[in-house]
Every structure is written in C-alpha cells, then in structure tokens.
Structure 1
Amino acid sequence: MNVTAIIVDDEANSRIILRNYLSKYCKTVTVLGEAASVQETIELLKSHTPDVLFLDVEMPYGNAFDLLEQVPDRTFEIVFVTAYDHYAVDALNAQATYYLLKPIAIDNLIKAVDHVTHIKQRETALLDTVLVPKVTSAEGKITIPQQDGFEVLQISDILYCEADDNYTKIYLEKGNKLVSKTLKYFEESLSSHGFIRIHKSYLVNVSKVTRYKKGKGGSVVLSSGKELSVSSSKKGALLDYFK
C-alpha cells in the first residue's frame, strides 16, 4: 500500500536526510510536500491530504503541539521526529502514532512506516463496509459489587465501560451502573468475552461496534449511537478485530 506524507522540520538538512531515507528505504512513501513552520504546514494541509505527518517538535513561531491544536479534525497519522526524548509523554497525549529520535535510525523509520501502513490498510478495508468482529457476541454473566451484596449482569447487555477515577461506569442497553472497581479490573475480566480497551477511559464490547470513523486516533460508533474516541496506541488492536 502506498502512503503519502508531509515532512515538517525547520532545519533544511533534516528534511533532506528524512526525504532521502524515505526514498531509499521506504519506497511505498510519496512525499507530497515539506514545511519549515506551523504556518507553512497549515497552508500545505489546505491543498494536500497526507496519510502521515513526519513532524519535528520545535519550530520557530510555534511548535508541533501548537500546530496540532489548529487541526483538531485531522485524519493523518503523526510520527514525531525530534532530537529530544522528553516530549514522549506530550506526544502520547497528542495521540502520535510513532516517536523517532534524531539521528534517525533506519530500522526505526521502517518500523514507523510499516506501522502507519498497517493502520491505513485496516482503515481502508473497513471504510464503507459492515463491521463484522471476530467475536459474534459477548456471552456469560458478570457480578458487580453493591453495598448490600452483588448484582449479576448479562455481559451481552454491556455496551461499554468508562473509567471514573477508581470507579467504573458500566453503560448497558438500558441504563448504567457505577461500580467501585477500576477499569483495569473490568478489562481483565472481560477481555476474553470480546471486550477491548480503545482508550485510557474506554473499554468497549466489540460486538456493539457498528462503525469506525477516521480521525486523530479514530472513533467508533456503537449500536446505541454513542461515539467514542480511539487512541492512536489502541487503534491497531481494534482494527485487527475486524476483517
């Protein structure tokens, strides 16, 4: 699968090196353009729709995170390319797909491109198709603690679970429950029943997913109509649930 890209770096030499590496070692990548600042990138994005942005963090008159705030509904993946490792947490919060340190290791660049390519392949396969998860339905029962005992829920009735500090909100086909257990607890309990963590805050019943939408990390629409964000780090695992 071919992948289109834009390179953003204020250092011309860094752009040349990355472009040459992509040309030599990642032949499926087509570079649509290059930019040296936030504003130049914004202008490029008005006329191009890349699959991935190779994005340096520090630039004159604004940085990478300033840029991303100006493109809230992005459909491209982000590969940060920087000489500084202390931006890793910020990159994760910005839902970056990959994080490369300068000087760029060719093996890591190839891995980053392969990762983006895999995500794009899965997204393309899912667009305009009916989502059919590998699991047909969630079966069984789960007990949730109550002040005066416990309650038994049909797992198939659960749409998704949402983290709420040390509590978890369980959203059902009808109504919801607040339980004094962490989302991690329910992830471990329900992963074998067709549930998957799509975000630090969400655990979804895959059989209730009716649509996938591209975006920062993407989002899923459930049978109830509820739309939930998918983080970039969880996107690949989610897409692998569908054929």
Structure 2
Amino acid sequence: MELKAIIVEDEQISREILKNYLGKYCPDVTVVDEATNVDEALQLLRKISVDLLFLDVEMPYGTAFDLLDQVGDRDFETIFVTAYDQYAKDALNRQAAYYLTKPIEIDELIKAVDLVKSIKEREEEVHIGLSVKEQNGSQLHDKITIPTQEGFEVIPIKDIIYCSADDNYTHVFLAHSQKLVSKTLKHFDEMLSEKGFCRIHKSHLINASHVTAYKKGKGGSVMLSDVELPVSPSRKLELFKFFS
C-alpha cells in the first residue's frame, strides 16, 4: 500500500535525512510535499489529501500541537519526529501513531511506517455495520458482578456499552444508567477482553457489539449509541479485528 506523506520540519538537513531514509528503507512512502512551519503545513493539508504526516514538535510560529488543534478532523496518521523526548506523552495523547526521536533509528522508522500501513489497510478493509464476530462461539450471555456499598450487583455483559477510567475508579455505562465502581479500568479489561470488549484508548474500554460507526476524523473515533469516543492509533488494529 502506498502512503502519501508530508514532512513538517523547519530544519532542511533534517528533512533531507528523513526523505533519504524513507526512499531507501520505506519505498511505500511517497513524500508529496514539505512544510517548514505550522502555517505552511495548514495550507498544504487544506489542498492535499495525505495518509501520513511526519511532524516535528518545535517550529517557528507554533508547535506540532498547535497544528493538530487547527486541523480539526483529519484522515491521516501522525508520526512525531523530534529531538525532545519530553513531548512523548503529549504526542500520544494527541493521537500520534508513533513517536521517533532524533537522530532517527532506521529500525524504529520502519516499525513506525509499518504500523501506519497496517492501520490504513485495515481502515480500507473494515466496513462498520457488519456483525461483530462471535467470541468463542458465544452470544455473550454472561454476567458480571460489581461491588456496591450494600454488597454487589449482577449485570449482563451484553448490557454494558463501555467503561471509562477515572483514576482508581471506573464508570460503567449501560443503556439507561451508569455505575461508578471502585475498580481500575485494567481490572475490567482483564475480565472482559475475552467477552467481546476492546480497549480502544487508555481511558476507554468498549463493548464491540455496541459500535454503530467508525470515523476516521480527529485521529479515529467510534460511535456507541449517542456517544463518540476517541481511538488511539496503537489500538486501532485491535478494534478492527472485531469487524470484517
């Protein structure tokens, strides 16, 4: 699969190095244009449809985060390339598919591009609206218990739409109610991962049978009933496994 890419980097030598590496080690990537700052990148993204953005963090007249905020809905994946590793957490929280530090390691660059290729290929293959695959031949009639102040409550797994983290607590969302449970999201992930649930984000665990749509914009998101939740790039492939 060919990936059309833009490099956003204010240092010419860094752009040349990355282009040379891509040409030699990532032949499926075609660099269609370059930008040296946020304004130039915005103008390009308004004119050109691309699959991948190689993005430096610190640039003249703004940062990578300013650019992503101004772009809004987007249909491309982002690979951050920077000399400053303190931005890693912010980058991943802004839906970056991968984070590379300078000087770029060839193996890491190849791994980053391969991840984006896998994501884009599965996005093309997936058709939301088809039935979720049955997990282990089950129709998910199981139930779980959640602790309450009085004891515990029994909830059918199929009634859970999604779970969201709140520090050491988890909000469990049902069709017409929600429960606040004194258990971590990791606890629910381990308990429900074999029951048709998918961790789509560090803060969200969803029941795949309740997904009504997938949107590519803003880095990727799913619709469940009337709720839209972001999908982390590193979690997309796991989500796509539920659909064919």
Query: Normalising by structure 2, what TM-score?
Result: 0.92
Within-5 A mapping of 1:117-196:
117-127=117-127, 129-135=128-134, 137-196=139-198
SS at match of 1:139: coil
For the residues of structure 2 that align with 1:85 and 1:148, how far apart are their CA atoms? 47
Secondary structure at the aligned position of 1:153 is classed as strand
For 1:173 and 1:63, the matched residues in 2 are separated by 40
User: Any conservation in 2 of the 1:216–1:232 contact (CA below 8 Å)?
Assistant: no
Q: Structure 1 stretch 112-121 or stretch 144-153: which is displaced more?
A: 144-153
Q: Which SS does the other structure have where 1:143 is aligned? A: strand
2:64 is the counterpart of 1:64? yes
Following the alignment from structure 1 to structure 2, what is the Cα–Cα distance between the partners of residues 217 and 242? Answer: 19
Report Cα offsets for 1:52-97 as digits up to 9, x if no partner: 1001111112121121121121221110111222221121121210
User: Does residue 215 of the first structure (1) align with residue 217 of the second (2)?
Assistant: yes
> Which among 199, 202, 209 is matched to residue 200 of structure 1?
202
Alpha-carbon distance, 1:200 to partner:
2.1
Query: Aligned AA for 1:134?
Result: K
Q: 1:165: how far off?
A: 3.1
Gapped runs of 5+ residues in structure 2?
none
CA distance in 2, matches of 1:235, 1:38: 27
**Counterparts of 1:70 and 1:174, CA distance in 2:** 35
Q: Where do 1:27-66 residues align within 5 Å?
A: 27-66=27-66
Q: SS of the residue aligned with 2:217?
A: coil
Whether the 8 Å contact between 2:74 and 2:219 is mirrored in structure 1 is: no
RMSD: 1.6
2 CA distance for matches of 1:50 and 1:98?
Answer: 17
Per mean C-alpha deviation after superposition, the further-off stretch among 73-82 and 130-139 is 130-139
Q: How many residues align?
A: 241
Task: List runs of 5+ in structure 1 lacking aligned partners.
Answer: none
Aligned residue for 2:222, secondary structure, equals strand
Counterpart CA distance in 2 for 1:32 and 1:119 is 20
Contact 1:209–1:220 under 8 Å retained in 2: yes
Report if the CA contact (8 A) 1:100-1:109 is conserved. yes
Q: TM-score, normalised by structure 1?
A: 0.93
1:236 matched residue in structure 2: 237
Q: Could you tell me the percent identity over the aligned residues? A: 61
What corresponds to 1:90 in structure 2?
90
The answer for the alignment partner of 1:15 in structure 2 is: 15
Contact 1:126 1:212 in 2 (8 A): no
Q: Partner of 1:74 in structure 2?
A: 74
Contact 2:172 2:180 in 1 (8 A): yes
